[in-house]
Every structure is written in C-alpha cells, then in structure tokens.
Homo-oligomer: A and B are copies of this chain.
Amino acid sequence: MQNQTILLASRPTGTPTAENFRFETNEVPALTEGQVLLKTLYVSVDPYMRGRMNEGKSYIPPFELNQPIAGGAVAEVIDSNLYSLPVGALVTGNLPWQQYIVSEGQGLQIISPDEAPASYYLGLLGMPGLTAYFGLLDICEPKPGETVVVSGAAGAVGLIVGQIAKIKGARVIGTAGSDEKVAYLKELGFDEAINYKTANIPEALAAAAPHGVDCYFDNVGGPITDAVYDLLNNHARIALCGQISSYNDAEAPMGPRPEGKLLKTSAKLQGFIVSNYYQRWPEGVKQLTKWYKEGKLRAEETVTEGFDQIPAAFLGLFKGENTGKAIVKVA
C-alpha cells in the first residue's frame, strides 16, 4: 500500500512557501509485535508550528530537515498488535504528516466520537481549547464585569477565549482581520469586534473599552498589543499565547518598549504554552466538554480536504484564511 509523507525540505526565511515542503511516497511497512497501523483522518495546522521550522532553541525542538513534519492529528487504528488500541479505535496525538503511520502507541489518546465530532479533539476539546482554558482562567482570571481583549479572536484559540470570557461574565472585545470575521464574533456573543486591517486600532480599542482593559489574551502582538497596553487598568493581567504578527519576521521586530506601561499599572504579563498545564488537562477537557454539551461553547472549523492540501492549509494560517480551527480532512 502506498503511503505519502510530507517532509521539511528547507527552512523558510520569512514567510514559508510550498517549496519548504516535500512529498515522499513509500510503501506502508508490515507491522511487528506491539505495533498498530494508523490511518490519518484529520490533520491540525497551527501557527506555533512555524516556530519549529526555524533552527534554534525554543520550547519545543525544531523540525529536522528531510524529516517528517509532525503535529496534532486524529487517526483510526486499522491494524493492531496492541490490546490497548483495537482496530476501529480513534486516537489523537502528535503524529507525522503521513497517510498511514506505524506506531507503538506512545502518546496516543483514545477519543470518543459519541461526545463530539472527532475533529473537535484538534480544536475545542484539544490543544487550542485547553490553551484558551488555562491561559484565560489561570493567568487572566477575568471577573464579572471586567473587560477582556482577545487578539486573533477569530482564530482557533481566540474564539474559545472569547466564549469562555463571556461565560465568566466579562465584557469581551475581539480583534480579527476581516468584516466577515467581525460579524461572526458578534454573532458568537462578543460585545465588540474590530477589523484591525481597516480600523484605526488605538481609537477603535479605546472606544470599545471605555473602562480600560483588565485582561488581554494575546495571540498576535505588534500594533494591536501596543494599543492595548495604553488602555491597561491597574493590576491588568496579560496572557501571552502567540505572536503570529511576527512569526515570519527574519529580524526581531522593533516597537515601543512596553515596560513603562506595565510598570505604571502594576500589570502582569505571563508567557505560557499549554504543556505547562499538562497535569491539569483532564480538568480542562472535562469542563470544555461540559460547556460544549450545554450549548455554551460553539466550535468553528475551517476544513480543507485532501492530504496534498496540508501545506496550503498551513500557509493559509498566515494569510488569515481560517475562522476557528484550521483542519485538513485527509481521509
């Protein structure tokens, strides 16, 4: 049986392109003792993966040249030499971009398609949902009536942050990159939504946050962040989750130094990655699932079809093509 894999062909300088990826075709090997064969169903493309395309130290090691790209995926067990992973089971895990995967089962979690559609375990009930849950509730700690700003609000994480902040009784302002996304955020219950591509960002944020900003969940960085820092209330809390505006910059981006503003307001800025909360994941999944079943949290996906479209879906993240979770349906 033929099996396609997507490898890192070269490291991007600046914005990645299709040329940074290479497809390779091999035969699926025969299983040996203690192995399962997985068929990839859904592949998750996420902004953080851009960092792994670079060399150099970060919170996870870089992808290696001429080795498979890997990320979140949902797969089905189609052959098994492992009692714990029977044929037909659906699993999630960090998996190579590959149609068929031989695995010894490490790091795989069985998911229940009765609770929610399988792809939701890559979004609302997976890494992006948990990122939103822990970053907002553990770092920002929004209180009823407080003002929460979310940048990248129409992205996989931002949409969930805004909805949880509403559940917690906060006033929620989102920024996004199109009028369609702004309309969708309002439909979802955001109090205010700003198209950062067409608005005067400082004026629009000041108008949307007449009582200042208590919590900021930042996925983007850059000029939106600069404007939020000018509106911070005393003891504001900032969860630093992503900086998609600068992931493709070759040089460290320059901007107004934020320290003076953070000092004046006794603000807290906390960088984090979801794996910091690894031991609390079951709590997060349980609560997100409960809110989803109660109709309090909605999942939104932008689904691309076809294994060969994975690089294009990934590159689309940096053009703002997705609303909610960007998923590739592989099979």
Contact = CB atoms under 8 A, between A and B. Distances in A.
Interface of A: 51, 57-59, 218, 221-222, 225, 234, 240-243, 246, 252-260, 262-273, 276
A268 B266 contact: no
Contact of A271 (B221, B246, B255, B268): B268
A267 B276 CA distance: 12
B58 A264 contact: yes
A222 B258 CA distance: 11
Number of copies: 2
Given A59-B234, A234-B59, A254-B254, A264 B259 contact: no
A257 B265 contact: no
Contact of A266 (B59, B218, B262): B59
A273 B262 contact: no
Contacts of A253: 256-257, 260
A266 B273 contact: yes
B240 A263 contact: yes
19 contacts: A59-B264, A59-B265, A218-B259, A221-B257, A221-B259, A221-B260, A222-B257, A225-B259, A240-B259, A243-B259, A252-B260, A254-B255, A254-B257, A262-B269, A266-B271, A266-B272, A266-B273, A267-B270, A268-B269
